[in-house]
Structure 1
Amino acid sequence: MKGIVFTEFLDLVESKFGLEMVDRIITQSTLNSNGAYTAIGTYKFSEMAELLTNLSLNTGIDVQELLLIYGEHFFTVLQESYGTMLRQYAGPIELLNAIENHIHVEVRKIYPEAELPSFEVLKKTDNSLIMIYKSDRAMYSFGLGLMRSAFRYFDKKATITYTKLKTDGTEVKFDIYLLDD
């Protein structure tokens, strides 16, 4: 997992829960990196899972809810770093439709070793998108947070629902419907 995911996560934890919480979850975790991350480094997903679990235990907030909050936060990072790319899409449906065949292609050019989830579009219309998320990491709530933020970025409203196709969350169907303004 790319280091930027870790550095931004710890920034979020600090801004929402304080520096003491960052220290606490790092101390409570058994991390090969000792909690020292660089944005360009690569780290094991197990470290993120442990940090999330410890944050959940310390805050009483469910891991999936924490991932949702983190996904919403991470979109702001994407806006700052890749605003030009985001602006080339006419709206959120077009942006989400392009994840697999454009956005992830560009990410792999920058980070060839990145292990990204896959998104299979089942159906797309001007106002809706049905897609399947697949990842062994089961971070579908992170994806949901990114999706919600994409609609806010384009100043659009939508209903986004999901159905776990596998109970462990490694395969999830998203039904996305743009709402009339």
Structure 2
Amino acid sequence: MKGIVFSEFLELVEEKFGLEMVDKIISQSELKSGGAYTSVGTYEFSEMLQLLKNLSNNTGVSIDGLLLTYGEHFFQILERDYSVMLESYNDPIEMLSSIENHIHVEVRKIYPDAELPTFKVIEKTKRKLIMLYKSSRAMHHFGLGLMNKTFEYFDSSAEIVLEKLKEDGTEVKFLINKN
């Protein structure tokens, strides 16, 4: 997993829960990296799982809840660093339906070894999008947070329902209806 995902996560933890919490979850985890991340480095996903689990245990917030908040936070990084890409879209449905064939292509140009989830469009209209998400990391709530902020970015809203196709969350169907 790319270091930017870790460094931004720890920034969010500091912002929401304080620097002491960052130190606490790092010290409670067995991290090969020691909790020091560079944005272009690559780290084991198991480190993110430990950090999430320890943050959840210390705050009482579910891992899915933490991932949702983190996805919403991470959208700010996309706005700040990749605004040109965002500005190439006029509509949230168009943008979300292009994750696999445009956005992830651009991400791989910057981070060639990034392991990204896959998104397959099943159905798309002007107001509706059904996509299948697949990832061994089961971070679908991170994706949901990004989707929520995508609609906000376009001054729009939607009802987004996720349906687990596999109990472990490695395959999820997103049902998106634009309001």
Q: What SS does the aligned partner of 1:159 have?
A: strand
Match of 1:135 in 2: 135
Output the CA distance in 1 between the equivalents of 2:109 and 2:64. 29
Matched residue, 2:100: 100
Distance in 2, Cα, partners of 1:36 & 1:145: 25
Deviation at 1:20, TM superposition (A): 0.1
Partner deviation per Cα, 1:17-63 (whole Å, 9 max, x = no partner): 00000000000000000000011111000000000000000000000
User: For residues 147-158 of structure 1, what are the structure 2 equivalents within 5 Å?
Assistant: 147-158=147-158
Question: TM-score, normalised on structure 1?
Answer: 0.98
- Percent identity of paired positions between Structure 1 and Structure 2: 65
What is the CA RMSD across the aligned residues, in angstroms? 0.4
Separation in 1 of the partners of 2:68 and 2:158? Answer: 16
Shift of 1:119: 0.1
Measured after TM superposition, the shift of residue 76 of structure 1 is 0.5
User: Which residue of structure 1 lines up, in the alignment, with residue 74 of structure 2?
Assistant: 74
Q: Quick one: distance in 2 between partners of 1:44 and 1:14?
A: 21
Q: Which amino acid aligns with 2:50?
A: E
> In structure 2, the residue corresponding to 1:160 is in which secondary structure?
strand
Q: Corresponding residue for 1:40?
A: 40
For structure 2, the 5+ residue unaligned runs are: none
Aligned to 1:69, the other structure's residue is in SS state helix
Q: Could you give the per-residue CA deviations for residues 58-91 of structure 1, whole angstroms, max 9, x where no partner exists?
A: 0000000000000000001110000110011111
State the AA in 1 paired with 2:60: G
SS across alignment from 1:107: helix
Q: Distance in 1 between matches of 2:178 and 2:87?
A: 18
Partner of 1:113: 113
Describe the superposition over 1:106-163 as per-residue Cα deviations: whole angstroms up to 9, x where unpaired: 1111111000000000000011100000000000000000000000000101000010
* Structure 1 residue runs without a partner (length 5+): none
Equivalent residue runs for 1:55-70 within 5 Å: 55-70=55-70
Question: Runs ≥4 in structure 1, deviation > 3 angstroms?
Answer: none
1:163 aligned counterpart, secondary structure? strand
Q: Which residue of 2 aligns with 1:24?
A: 24
Distance 2:84 2:110 in 1: 16
1:13 corresponds to: 13
The alignment's TM-score, normalised by the length of structure 2, stands at 0.99
- Other structure's SS at 1:143 match: helix
Q: What is the number of equivalent residue pairs in this alignment?
A: 179
User: For 2:162 and 2:67, how far apart are their aligned partners in 1?
Assistant: 15
Which residue does the alignment assign to 1:49? 49
Q: CA deviation at 1:172?
A: 0.2
